[in-house]
């Protein structure tokens, strides 16, 4: 079902992910989709979580390059941004799910946000992050989300996301 979701999302964004189509594409009944995912948002959030975890895996295999912590964080964020902007429709669908999540989906939203924060602290340096590291990473993940919302909403171009993140990272990590 998640594969079907990603495929439909990549094709036409949020609106193209229609629950009936997800069910058909996955070869199950509509009720079965709702047995496992309580809403369309959750379905997209779980798909998003898979993507973020995949990113985390790729990063652990091929760690970020860069001399300073700031450089490494910028590298990670730009790589992530490039991955997202390469599949604009799929990203738009998942970001929209993030932005319109209800209370019932708060656990999924929290997992996505924690995964992103962990990716950023991981790029800073080896070992446990300090409190300040965690605060910085949290801010960056918030900037990340808002930038993506601006991009998928057509407010900014795709390059703005990376630039915003780089500026924020360099201001926060000295």
Partner DNA sequence: TGCTGAATGAGAACGTGTTCTCATTGCGGG
Partner DNA sequence: CCCGCAATGAGAACACGTTCTCATTCAGCA
Residues that bind DNA (CB under 7 A): 15, 17-20, 27-32, 34-36, 38-41
Vertex 84: Cα angle to 83 and 86 (nearest 5)? 70
Does residue number 70 form part of the binding site for a copy of itself (CB under 8 A)? no
Under the phi-then-psi rule, with left for phi > 0, alpha for psi from -120 to 50, and beta for the rest, what region is 96?
alpha
Q: Which is nearer to DNA, 17 or 115 (CB)?
A: 17
Q: Is 134 exposed, middle or buried (0-12, 13-18, 19+ CB in 10 A)?
A: middle
- Contact code string over 74-113 relative to a copy of itself, x by CB under 8 A: ----------------------x-xxxxxx-xx--xx--x
Contacts of 27 (CB under 8 A, 6+ apart): none
Q: Which of 53, 83, 139, 158 binds a copy of itself (CB under 8 A)?
A: 139
164 binds, among a copy of itself, DNA, none (CB under 5 to 8 A by kind): a copy of itself
């Amino acid at each position: 079902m998640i594969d079907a979701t990603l495929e439909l999302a990549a094709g036409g964004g949020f609106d193209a992910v229609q629950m009936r189509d997800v069910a058909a594409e996955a070869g199950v009944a509509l009720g079965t989709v709702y047995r496992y995912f309580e809403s369309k948002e959750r379905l997209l959030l779980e798909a998003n979580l898979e993507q973020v975890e995949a990113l985390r895996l790729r990063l652990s295999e091929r760690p970020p390059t860069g001399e300073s912590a700031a450089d490494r964080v910028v590298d990670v964020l730009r790589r992530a941004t490039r991955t997202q902007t390469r599949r604009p429709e799929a990203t738009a669908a998942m970001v929209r799910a993030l932005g319109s999540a209800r209370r019932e989906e708060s656990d999924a939203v929290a997992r996505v946000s924690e995964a992103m924060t962990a990716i950023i602290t991981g790029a800073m340096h080896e070992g446990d992050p300090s409190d300040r590291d965690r605060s910085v990473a949290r801010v960056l993940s918030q900037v990340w989300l808002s930038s993506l919302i601006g991009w998928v909403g057509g407010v900014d171009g795709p390059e703005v996301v990376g630039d915003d993140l780089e500026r924020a990272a360099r201001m926060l990590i000295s």
